Amino acid sequence: NPVNGEKFDYIVVGGGTAGCVVANRLSADSSKKVLLLESGPSGDSMEISVPAGISRLFKHPILDWGLMSKTQQQLFAREIYLARGRALGGSSCTNATLYNRGSAEDYDGWGLEGWKSSDVLKWFMDAEDYPPGPKPYHGVGGTMKVEQPRYENILHDEFFRAAASIGLKHNDDFNAWDRPQEGFGEFQVTQMQGERADMYRTYLKPAMQRGNLKVVTGARTTKISFERLLGRSEQRAEGVEFTTGGQFGERFVAELSSQGEVVMAAGAVHTPHLLQLSGVGGAAMLLSHGIPVVSDLPGVGANLQDHPACCYAARFKPEYDDITVTADIYDKSNNIKPSAVLKYLFGRKGPLTTTGCDHGAFLSTTGKGQPDLQIRFVAGFALDPDGVSSYIKFGEMKKQGLSWPGGITLQLLAIRSKSKGSVGLKSADPFVNPDININYFSDPLSADVATLREGYKISRKIAGAAAFEKYGPTEAYPGTSRTEDADIDEFIRKTVHSGNALVGTCRMGHSPEDEGAVVSSQDLKVFGLENVRVVDSSVIPVIPGGQTGAATVMVAERAAVLLKSSASRSPLVMRSA
């Protein structure tokens, strides 16, 4: 038995981004026994640590959950692939490593006491280690490693020149809140000297020698168990059930000590799913699956948000095939070039240090307000308008001995998307994936599709700028025949894919009266439960206009302090009061 009948002060469910942060912080107090249960394996692998390995991680049979949305009629009856990491480190092991917090207005817009930009800045900065040194908006000496990208390609400069020629300004720090987010530039990355600095490597691994922290991998939590005492306004968790060895493997129970807490960190899909399986969610849905209701909270699984994404791409004249990032990594037989490996091993530089999309821009397509569009520029040609299918096509080309053609790609993301989806039960069986309704373009004013449509028009201007003229770009996606808005919109709906920014499914709110709120913004406790908190990307109420890893670490850092401070206020006294 991996838990040997022990009792724990904290059971952390999910060893991903947030789980690694809280497991480190909570186990720093040697008097507390902490258990971390992670469904996947450890995050020790070269595919993870070398940033360019990202291309192998999408739909990875072990390190990715392989989640698909339910059929989306508005997207020509497609199912959308939703990448989620499955290992210690979670999605921080499989993500693109971009460090973009979004803007101060994003956090002010949450309208929650204690979570305004002036509050959260401290948590962002305390978490951060940014080697160029302290700046008003950057921290040094924290656990989260942040640096500038290390791979240079001539096409990055051409992109900057093209962006400037259409009137965009250079922004040398998208995380500096003393200026508008708008502009083009380099995105900072969560790396340490060119290696992926995922939260397993940075937060969890150094804490794993602590005797009071037990980490169990291959342990899939299936349910939170509750005491179910009648007449109590708040129900109390007594532990969690989990299996090792998969669906038909061994089943175990991990128990909480008398003042213990369950800390949910299974991510924006699995945290609401596990709550629902445990009887916490909309009563009607739970009862329709025969699950007794512990807390009737219809907000669990609602409010799912993401950054819907599309790709513009242009081919270059064949003589420029060898200047792209892909040509810097692969030779004509599609083997990794020794030069790329040597640069990586002996200087932590070169194309293996990049996930490919660390240059780009933020801009407002309407010319008003906050940027609604992020462009992630790739110095290479996407083989498919869906970035993930591009890698799968490459695998097929490789088998046929064909080399990757040259060109550029601009991945377009609607970063302040207005559409909302949901995560709901398909079955009471914990091994059946939930129904994920990603629901892109459901916003009543069609703002998200308009953002991407305008993104295509801007991309055409950039690719058509003088900076790229000598390369003879020929538009591949959306394709020059698509000139009318309706045609572009159709292409968007046929090719939209996930920007991998799932959040919001257990959103924070002031009080249980705040409709749709699941956890309290004061202490991240689930309403109606005495000792269950959510500390991951699920609690983010409104998606920030930047990749969501930084915001998740900020939430988890803060959550750990909230957990520790209420433990020091003696829950026993509070309970009897």
Q: Is residue 359 a contact partner of residue 185, using CB atoms and an 8 Å limit? A: yes
Question: Residue 206 CB: number of other CB atoms within 10 A?
Answer: 11
Between CA 404 and CA 413, with CA 407 as vertex, the angle to 5 degrees is 105
97 makes contact with ligand FAD (CB under 6 A): yes
From 90, 149, 272, 351, residue interacting with ligand FAD (rule: CB under 6 A): 90
Of 458, 459, 455, 476, give the one whose Cα is nearest residue 413.
Answer: 455
86 makes contact with ligand FAD (CB under 6 A): yes
Identify the residue whose tokens are 């999605």.
91
Instruction: Check residue 91 and report its DSSP letter.
Output: G
Q: Is residue 266 a contact partner of residue 14, using CB atoms and an 8 Å limit? A: yes
Residue number closest to ligand FAD, CB atom: 16
Rounded least distance, CB 239 to ligand FAD, Å: 14
Rounded least distance, CB 82 to ligand FAD, Å: 8
R_g (Cα) of the chain, nearest Å:
23
What residues numbered 8-67 form the site for ligand FAD, per CB under 6 A? 13-19, 37-40
Rounded least distance, CB 38 to ligand FAD, Å: 5
Rounded least distance, CB 100 to ligand FAD, Å: 7
Residue closer to ligand FAD (CB basis): 40 or 53: 40
94 makes contact with ligand FAD (CB under 6 A): yes
Rounded least distance, CB 446 to ligand FAD, Å: 26
Identify the residue whose tokens are 């295509």.
456
From 536, 543, 554, 567, residue interacting with ligand FAD (rule: CB under 6 A): 536
Instruction: List CB contacts of 44: < 8 A, sequence separation 6 or more.
Output: none
Residue closer to ligand FAD (CB basis): 14 or 405: 14
Residue closer to ligand FAD (CB basis): 24 or 500: 500
Task: Give the type of residue at 487.
Answer: D
Residue closer to ligand FAD (CB basis): 462 or 540: 540
459 makes contact with ligand FAD (CB under 6 A): no
From 27, 324, 419, 500, residue interacting with ligand FAD (rule: CB under 6 A): 500
85 makes contact with ligand FAD (CB under 6 A): yes
- What CA–CA distance (Å, rounded) separates 505 from 275? 11
From 55, 278, 552, 566, residue interacting with ligand FAD (rule: CB under 6 A): 552
Residue closer to ligand FAD (CB basis): 24 or 221: 221
Burial label, 271 (beta-carbon count in 10 A; 0-12, 13-18, 19+): buried
Interface size with ligand FAD, residues (CB under 6 A) = 41
Of 499, 446, 530, 458, give the one whose Cα is nearest residue 229.
Answer: 530
Tokens of 419: 């559409």
- What CA–CA distance (Å, rounded) separates 527 from 254? 23
143 makes contact with ligand FAD (CB under 6 A): no
Question: Residue 371 CB: number of other CB atoms within 10 A?
Answer: 24
Task: Give the type of residue at 532.
Answer: V
220 makes contact with ligand FAD (CB under 6 A): yes
Residue closer to ligand FAD (CB basis): 15 or 478: 15
Residue closer to ligand FAD (CB basis): 144 or 488: 144
Binding piece for ligand FAD, criterion CB under 6 A, among 89-97, 158-166, 284-292, 296-304 = 89-97
Q: Is residue 557 a contact partner of residue 127, using CB atoms and an 8 Å limit? A: yes
Tokens of 349: 């530089």
Instruction: Check residue 381 and report its DSSP letter.
Output: -
From 262, 550, 554, 563, residue interacting with ligand FAD (rule: CB under 6 A): 550
Residue closer to ligand FAD (CB basis): 390 or 537: 537
Binding piece for ligand FAD, criterion CB under 6 A, among 86-94, 132-140, 324-332, 364-372 = 86-94
Q: What is the DSSP string of 512-537?
A: TTSTT--EETTT-BBTTBSSEEE-SG
Alpha helices in 444-522 (DSSP H): 447-463, 485-495
Instruction: Check residue 202 and report its DSSP letter.
Output: I
83 makes contact with ligand FAD (CB under 6 A): yes
439 makes contact with ligand FAD (CB under 6 A): no
From 156, 196, 270, 507, residue interacting with ligand FAD (rule: CB under 6 A): 270
549 makes contact with ligand FAD (CB under 6 A): yes
For the chain, report the end-to-end CA distance as a whole number of angstroms. Answer: 37
Rounded least distance, CB 354 to ligand FAD, Å: 11
Rounded least distance, CB 424 to ligand FAD, Å: 16
The DSSP element (H or E) to which 412 belongs, if any, is strand 407-414
Task: Give the type of residue at 568.
Answer: S
Residues that bind ligand FAD (CB under 6 A): 13-19, 37-40, 83-87, 90-92, 94-98, 220-221, 265-268, 270, 274, 500-501, 536-537, 547-550, 552
